[in-house]
Amino acid sequence: MTEKLFALLDVYHGADAHSAAMNMAIDEALLSSASVPTIRFYRWQSPALSFGYFGRFSDVASYQGEHDMVRRWTGGGIVFHGKDLTYSIVIPISDAVFTEPTMFIYERIHRALCDALKKNGQSAVIATGADRAGVTRVNDPGYSCFANPVRADVMIDGRKVAGAAQRRTRRALLQQGSIQSVDLESGLSQRFIQALSTDYSEQKLDEEILNRARELAEQKYSTDFWLRKR
């Protein structure tokens, strides 16, 4: 049996839908406070669009008004949200996985997702070959994420169904991911959790995290300065 990625895992199921800014803010608040690895699944109040930290606002400006738009703190390309299963994983520096290379973590998380999808009866595989010339890298800006598979993305029948982007700080690593165009019911999120760790516990966001997230949403993610900074 393949060893699980995490010895311990805290799980947050987002019962409440949030704005795009608040979703990004909660992830950053967890990034600064998590003491063990966490996974959070979340929902969107309305059709949303997120784009990577290094992306250009001009690439998404035409969608303004149609989607709740936000610049992520992670890299990567343009992702449409609303009908996807969105998650974030935070790995604190205290966890041994934090010291592993970025691509190792990216691939191991997606291999766990592949296992979950297979148990749901879907023939998911890991994308290969992204180191060849001309293939988009994980953190390249300005592209439609689900139209451009990169190394270690999740594929079904040649179609990308899951991608992610990361941000590493001195105290933790954040991976934000989206799963699309598959059966999102049938216990997929629970199977994903179980593929990541055998020792997991359900948690609720406490008021300290939520208050910090509200500040970040108001002062950062919902501001025109942040949205148009590039």
Please identify every residue annotated as catalytic: 145
Q: Which residues pair with 163 in a beta bridge?
A: 178
Cross-sheet strand order for the sheet of 172-179: 124-126, 154-156, 159-168, 172-179, 85-92, 38-44, 9-18, 200-203
173, two tokens: 């690593």
Query: Which residue in 47, 63, 55, 52 sits closest to 24, CA to CA?
Result: 52
Dihedral (Cα; 155, 56, 62, 26), 10-degree rounding: 70
CA pair distance 67, 174, nearest whole angstrom: 24
Query: Which residue in 39, 35, 6, 13 sits closest to 197, CA to CA?
Result: 6
Pair 230, 150: CB distance under 8 Å: no
Question: Which one-letter DSSP state was computed for residue 214?
Answer: H
CB atoms within 10 A of CB 105: 22
